[in-house]
Chains A and B, each alone.
Chain A
Amino acid sequence: MSPLNADEPGGFVADHLDVGVFAIDAAFRVTLWNRFMATHSRQRAEAVIGRNLFECFPELPRGWLERKVRQVQALRNYAFTSWTQRPYLFRFDHNRPITGGVDAMRQNCTFMPVRGEDGSVSQVCVTLQDVTDTAIAHQALAASLVELEREKAEQQRLIGELEEAHMQVLQSEKLASIGQLAAGVAHEINNPIGYVSANLGSLKRYLDDLMKVLDAHLELAAELPTECRERVAARTAGIDVDYLRADLPQLLGESCEGLERVRRIVLDLKDFSRMGETEKVPADLHRCLDSTLNVVANELRYKAELEKCYGELPEIECVPSQLNQVFMNLLINAAQAIEERGRITITTGSVGDEVFVSVRDSGCGIPPDELRRVFDPFFTTKPVGSGTGLGLSISYGIVERHGGRIEVDSTPGQGSEFRVWLPLHGGAD
């Protein structure tokens, strides 16, 4: 094949095509070099034709290109390269010197066998197509696809969060409605408790007075004539006055105790619906924990070794008395979960702008089907009388009002961990 003759129509077209066209012979000498190749490589045809391709362009991937050309010669078949795998054959400037987007012109190449008269192939003609625009569009598409995938994943995550939040709203609404009910019930019960309690107080005083009267009468009765004493004895036969005197104050005392218990439950109910004290102050949670531990020391002493793993905690905005109550609930629950003797570990620390207080016990654990219900009001697994079933739901409400949350992790037979998370800078309320 001879160099392009621009005077012939075919030669003119090949020379002026907006596609790179060049050819090489078996020794890789350039035999054809059109205008596209010349302008982009800045090597004129006269300077290249007849010379070895790799000599003119030492940066070409020699081993690979030689194999490719040999392949075409041996098979007398087409071969191709695509920009998606090999961005370019010749490193040419692209057509976007200003707007940019890629480092060099993207090229698709076609290697064609040039058959001689006898059908054999020694020369190989290569066309080189500028596909920079396609490549940039493709890249933009690929980038937006990645972005879409990312957004999709993000949305999926948000949907998950929304479901979680929905569950939490349901939980807190349930608690709130029960809270309202409880507040009403507490108020109703408070009234009778008030006057029963006052009456019991009066009753006790009256009883004391009556006893004095009885004592006086009994004393004087001894001085009565025998006939009178016998008449009194006959009328009070079967009444064991000594027993009455001993038992009456005891009965009254037990009634007062019972009433006190009712009053405490009502107080719990009131706490559950709304704490009396809501003023937030900066407080040291470690101090709260320590004072709570003092209060419950007796409950824990015979049940568990106490281990304190206090981390670094900054002061946080909170209502200390309320949090004390939360910690007390968790600690008492932990102790009650332990049957014989075990270990209670208190761990504190901070992560990001949240702090946590964790109470872990080596107790009986919570079965998975009950785990969801532990924060429900009146849910209790304790024997009747040892718990109201309000402790954890009260704690839940308190922590929620602090903008925090309680996480629970439990393995039946191994123990439970309740972890209270609180924001550094007081949450809602």
Chain B
Amino acid sequence: MLSEDQRDALQELINIGMGRAGASAAAVLGEFVQLSVPRILILRPGLIPAALERILGSEPLTAVRQGFHGDLRGEAVVVYGAAHCRELADLMGYEDLLEPGAERELLLDVSNVLVGACLGGLAEQIRAEVGFSAPSLMAVDEAAASLIDVRDVDLPCALFVEVNFRLEVRSFACHLILLLVEEQILVLRNAVDRFLEAL
């Protein structure tokens, strides 16, 4: 689907987008955000659960999903370990003990920031228009392998982008996974070609 060059370029593109994302997320969170170099995989949907399990391990997870549409279309999933959810509370200035409702709102908020920043950064790099749907809670305390039910996914393959977030001062960390449908790979490939030409 992608040549080695294209793949490297795409990784770089996403990396630049993510860098900006890190900066703006840091501005909102008031903490320096470390991001891993994005990992890009092209997977058959049936392999997604195994990939998630490999990346996330076997501890119970909480996940938020958010759809995006426009020139780029797909779904973003932000995955938190249970221990990290609490850490978020004072990060976002919730001083009081969190009720379940408030804790979930917080998760949705942080996920929205991360997804918006990352995809916004990427979209800006490739000059794409992207809109967002409201984020929703996808799973609470579930195993990585059962986060996404792929039985009904009717796609030959999907683009799987994984980024890890870590805050410098606190122990908070989470994973962002972007899942794009196959046709988006072509959109990205064109963008990559444009990017390479401009070099």
Contacts and interface: CB of A to CB of B under 8 A. Distances in A.
- Answer yes or no: are A and B bound together in one complex: yes
Contacts of A108: 134
Interface size class of B (residues with CB under 8 A): 20 to 34
Contact of B116 (A63, A70, A77): A77
Interface string A209-238: 000000000000000000000000000000
A78 B105 contact: no
Contacts of A110: 134
B113 A71 contact: yes
Contact of A71 (B28, B101, B120, B134): B28
Interface string A65-90: 00110110011111111101110000
A80 B101 contact: no
Contacts of B131: 78
A82 B134 CA distance: 8
Given A75-B28, A75-B113, A80 B120 contact: no
Contact of B117 (A63, A77, A82, A85): A77
A78 B116 contact: yes
Interface string B93-111: 1000000011011001100
Given A82-B136, A85-B102, A108-B134, A75 B109 contact: no
B27 interface: yes
Interface in B76-127: 92-93, 101-102, 104-105, 108-109, 112-113, 116-117, 120
Looking at A68, A77, A79, A84, the one whose CB has the most chain B CB atoms below 10 A away is A77
B93 A85 contact: no
B104 A85 contact: yes
A177 B26 CA distance: 82
Contacts of B24: 74-75
A80 B135 contact: yes
A67 B112 contact: no
A77 B120 contact: yes
A86 B24 CA distance: 25
A76 B109 contact: no
B132 interface: yes
A85 B132 CA distance: 19
B108 A85 contact: yes
Interface size class of A (residues with CB under 8 A): 10 to 19
Nearest to A76: B120
B35 to A, nearest CB: 15
A82 B66 CA distance: 13
A70 B27 CA distance: 10
A110 B116 CA distance: 13
A114 to B, nearest CB: 15
A108 B135 CA distance: 12
A79 B109 contact: yes
Contact of B120 (A67, A75, A79, A82): A75
Nearest to B115: A77
Looking at B25, B27, B112, the one whose CB has the most chain A CB atoms below 10 A away is B112
Contact of B93 (A67, A77, A81, A86): A67
Looking at A70, A78, A86, A110, the one whose CB has the most chain B CB atoms below 10 A away is A78
A71 B106 CA distance: 13
A142 to B, nearest CB: 14
B28 A86 contact: no
Contacts of A85: 101-102, 104-105, 108
Contacts of B136: 82
A78 B136 CA distance: 14
A82 B135 CA distance: 9
A82 B25 CA distance: 22
B24 to A, nearest CB: 5
Nearest to B103: A85
Given A78-B132, A80-B112, A67 B101 contact: no
Contacts of B113: 71, 75, 77, 79
Contacts of A76: 120
The 6 A-B residue pairs with the shortest CB-CB distance in the complex, in nearest-first order? A77-B116, A85-B105, A80-B134, A78-B132, A74-B27, A75-B24
Interface of B: 24-25, 27-28, 92-93, 101-102, 104-105, 108-109, 112-113, 116-117, 120, 131-132, 134-136
13 contacts: A68-B109, A75-B116, A77-B132, A78-B131, A78-B132, A80-B135, A81-B105, A82-B108, A84-B101, A85-B102, A85-B104, A85-B105, A110-B134
Given A77-B112, A78-B116, A79-B109, 11 more contacts: A75-B25, A77-B113, A77-B120, A77-B132, A79-B112, A80-B112, A80-B135, A85-B101, A85-B105, A85-B108, A86-B101
